[in-house]
């Protein structure tokens, strides 16, 4: 059975009891249209994750809300639409380190750039170009992603299920290594759980991406609750766990 596509006008969403958003990987190109669909569909079908959460999570400015909730996040310089990169807004350490630049509404590493020098002309030009069409975020590049890697912790049906060690986006490779399931410390589980509890609504599924800072503190890089890969290939049980969670909701 083919999965219905979110922007297919022929789909009658009221014919379903529940809809689970799983692979809307083009939403960030048309976020306004996607959110209008979310609003329409949620009035006809039980939509998960919930509409308010989808609206919140599709702009990475949600990280500011989590920071206010005392979730340790990667230090970020937020540049408004039409703004420019002012290195004076960065700390001395940040100015002397590599940076990552991307739009706040983005996914899959598209138009994500790394620069060795935040004060360089290419970095400033790229920020100005991206900011001409929307807000931009500038973060320190943490070398730990190349050594120990990111940790992505999956939560299905409200509980932690598994974690993987992520391969780095930089340096870009033609063929990336397959992520492997790993065990994680109670420290990382606690941080991921703190992040989930700071969300505005109950979640059916979530992925918490963590990275270690230069001071060896683990910090939230991203919270994926819209269309995350949940790494069912290295952890097939995850699909069964999610299916049972969906079944419980249908039974309520």
The tens digit of pLDDT for each residue in 90-123 reads 777 677 788 999 999 998 788 999 999 888 899 9
Q: What is the pLDDT of residues 183-241, one digit of tens each?
A: 999 999 999 999 999 999 999 999 999 999 988 999 999 999 999 999 999 999 999 99
Q: 133 and 152, same structural domain?
A: no
Asked, for residue 32, whether it belongs to a domain, the answer is: no
Q: What is the pLDDT of residues 114-145, one digit of tens each?
A: 999 888 899 999 999 999 999 999 998 998 99
Q: 197 and 134, same structural domain?
A: no
| Pairwise CA distance, residues 81 & 67, whole Å | 21
For the chain, what is the domain count? 2
Q: 246 and 163, same structural domain?
A: yes
Bridge partners of 208, per DSSP, are 153, 223
Q: 159 and 100, same structural domain?
A: no
* Tally of CA atoms within 13 A in the half-sphere of 53 that contains its CB: 22
Asked, for residue 194, whether it belongs to a domain, the answer is: yes
- The last residue of one of the domains, among 93, 123, 140, is 140
Domain containing 105 equals: 76-140
Torsion of CA 197, 202, 204, 205, to 10 degrees: -30
Q: 90 and 111, same structural domain?
A: yes
Q: 246 and 150, same structural domain?
A: yes
CATH of the domain at 245: 3.30.470.20
Q: 131 and 87, same structural domain?
A: yes
Q: 152 and 130, same structural domain?
A: no
Q: What is the pLDDT of residue 159?
A: 96
């Amino acid at each position: 059975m083919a999965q219905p596509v979110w922007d297919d006008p022929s789909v009658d969403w009221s014919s379903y009891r529940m809809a689970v958003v799983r692979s809307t990987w083009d939403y960030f190109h048309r976020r306004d249209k996607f959110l209008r669909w979310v609003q329409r569909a949620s009035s006809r079908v039980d939509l998960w994750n919930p509409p308010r959460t989808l609206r919140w999570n599709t702009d990475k400015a949600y990280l500011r809300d989590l920071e206010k909730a005392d979730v340790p996040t990667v230090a970020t310089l937020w540049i408004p639409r039409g703004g420019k990169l002012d290195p004076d807004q960065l700390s001395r350490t940040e100015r002397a380190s590599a940076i990552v630049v991307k739009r706040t509404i983005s996914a899959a590493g598209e138009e994500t750039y790394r620069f060795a020098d935040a004060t360089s002309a290419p970095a400033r030009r790229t920020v100005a170009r991206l900011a001409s069409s929307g807000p931009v975020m500038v973060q320190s590049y943490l070398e730990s992603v190349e050594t120990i890697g990111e940790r992505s912790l999956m939560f299905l049906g409200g509980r932690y299920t598994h974690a993987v060690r992520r391969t780095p986006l930089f340096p870009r490779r033609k063929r990336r290594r397959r992520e492997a399931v790993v065990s994680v410390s109670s420290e990382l589980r606690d941080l991921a759980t703190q992040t989930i509890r700071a969300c505005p609504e109950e979640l059916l599924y979530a992925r918490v991406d963590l990275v270690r800072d230069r001071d060896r503190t683990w910090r939230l890089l991203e919270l994926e609750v819209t269309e995350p890969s949940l790494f069912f290939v290295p952890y097939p049980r995850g699909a069964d766990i999610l299916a049972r969670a969906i079944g419980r909701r249908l039974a309520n």
